[in-house]
Amino acid sequence: MNLVNGRYEIDGVSVLDMCTEFGTPLYVYDSNVIEAQYNRLKQAFKDTDVKINYACKALTNINILKFLNSLGSGLDTVSIQEVQLGLKAGFRPEDIIFTPNGVSFEEIEMAVDFGVIVNVDNISVLEQFGAKYGSSYPVCVRMNPHIMAGGNAKISVGHIDSKFGISIYQIKLLERVIKNYDIRVTGLHMHTGSDILDIDVFLRGADVLLESAESFPNLEFVDFGSGFKVKYSPSDNTTDVELLGKKLTKRIKEFSKTYGRELHIMFEPGKFLVSESGYLFVKTNVIKQTMSTVFAGVDSGQNHLIRPMMYDAYHHITNISNPKGTNRIYSVVGYICETDTFGWDRKLNEVHEGDILALHNAGAYGYSMSSNYNSRYRPAEVMVYKGKPYLIRRRENMEDLLSTQQMVNWEF
């Protein structure tokens, strides 16, 4: 989003015009940003055989999936429904990796039937898998390298107490199961968390993963997961993917020599690809002066963007309607009957009732974590592509709210 001659625009399209045309609250995604982030990661690993699988739980609109497919991305999925969405979006089964945790074995069987890459993170599931498929269907195993990483306990998934992955300390047992059932392990995977700033954490995880690789003679790829940190606050540091690219490439080259063969490497970023592409535009319903604070109450809330409330996440806020206004301090809050604060004590250009505010970094885990709480409709979504806004999801309505409810003829 740029401020050009006093108006905010995305790829040349006026933000205020989009809010008028499609209404607020409104999610808008800038496809240029997604493409730039994809190319940046690809470029950082240009000297390896890298495959980027978009972790689609971040943002699952099928048009976004199609766009990433067109860029050459694969897809990382965590539910069979995401697998099905990916197939509908046109991804080939071999470009989809299914990395579930705690799902039923039926779901894994469905993934096999669809022909996607299956990633197993539990020895008991691997035994069932071996008993059913033996060496007839390849499998990837998700290891837990026991590294504490990530910006928040809810999104740290590689430490010793985590429910994810097969512990690196269970590798002997793992080897026995693989041997007993003649399982063909073609991939090794790790994913240690989100918002990892320190590239040494990646590199240590990679070391642990690669050290375990000698237990698996049939490997075709190693998947280093994700967790790249993006800029939420203007003062945030971000993961240096270029430096990571240099260091990890060197490590992989050495490894390939000892392993005897060049392996593909994979990453599965969600946030990195889509977070900064997205904005949630909201309208200021009320300005409320209390004894201590000036609140700007907007036409949205935790039902549309829950990250500030759930993860204490910082989302930058800009007043789109009054770019030249005097700076004042506001607490921007939602309209839900809970304390749903988007930002405390934020410096904003003076806000009037009716002004449009932008919540930045709303591309990842924004719409995809939204709900109908308070019986509110979920917003519309727009994707800006080549200087034009496209409606990619309409706003919900009362029929949508009632669509799954049954009208029983009660005789109360």
Ligand X SMILES: *Cc1c(COP(=O)(O)O)cnc(C)c1O
How many CB atoms lie under 10 A from the CB of residue 101? Answer: 15
Residues 128-167 binding ligand X (CB under 6 A) are none
For residues 225 and 297, which CB has a smaller minimum distance to ligand X in the complex? 225
Number of Cβ within 10 Å of residue 204's Cβ equals 16
Nearest to 84 by CA among 44, 122, 53, 115: 115
Query: How near is the Cβ of 148 to ligand X at its closest, in Å?
Result: 15
Q: Which stretch binds ligand X (CB under 6 A): 169-177, 256-264, 265-273, 347-355?
A: 265-273
Site string (171-200) toward ligand X, x via CB under 6 A: --------------------x--x------
Distance, first Cα to last Cα, the chain = 55
The residue within the footprint of ligand X, chosen from 63, 73, 162, 226 (CB under 6 A), is: 226
Q: Is 271 in the site for ligand X (CB under 6 A)?
A: yes
CA-CA distance, 200 to 42, in Å (whole number)? 20
Does the protein bind ligand X through residue 227 (CB under 6 A)?
Answer: yes
57 binds ligand X (CB under 6 A): yes
321 scored as a contact of ligand X (CB under 6 A):
no
Is residue 37 at the binding interface for ligand X, with CB under 6 A as the rule? no
Nearest CA among 98, 19, 17, 4 for reference residue 299: 19
364 lines the binding site for ligand X (CB under 6 A): yes
Q: Which of these ranges, 200-208, 219-227, 351-359, 373-381, lies near ligand X under the rule CB under 6 A? A: 219-227
Give the pairing of strands 74-77 and 50-55: parallel
Residue of 25, 86, 205, 225 interacting with ligand X (CB under 6 A): 225
d(CA 412, CA 124): 49
82 binds ligand X (CB under 6 A): no
Taking the least distance from each CB to ligand X, the nearer of 335 and 367 is 367
Q: Compare residues 276 and 355 and give the one whose CB is closer to ligand X.
A: 276
Preceding peptide of 379 cis, ω within 30°: no
Read off the tokens for 346: 């934020």
Cβ-based nearer residue to ligand X, 61 or 194:
194
Closest CA to 321 of 13, 17, 107, 10: 17
Contacting ligand X (CB under 6 A), which of 58, 65, 85, 208? 58
CB 265 within 8 A of CB 48: yes
Query: Which positions are catalytic?
Result: 337
Q: Which of 31, 63, 99, 303 binds ligand X (CB under 6 A)?
A: 99
Q: State the nearest-atom distance from the C-beta of 228 to ligand X, in Å.
A: 6
Distance CA 107, CA 112 (A): 9
For residue 54, the minimal CB distance to ligand X (Å) is 9
Region binding ligand X by CB under 6 A among candidate stretches 1-9, 28-36, 220-228, 250-258: 220-228
Residue of minimal Cβ distance to ligand X: 270
Nearest-angstrom CA–CA distance, 101 and 83: 14
* Neighbouring residues of 384: CB distance < 8 A, sequence distance ≥ 6: 10, 11, 13, 28, 29, 30, 31, 32, 390
Give the binding site for ligand X (CB under 6 A). Answer: 55, 57-58, 76, 78, 99, 191, 194, 225-227, 268-272, 364
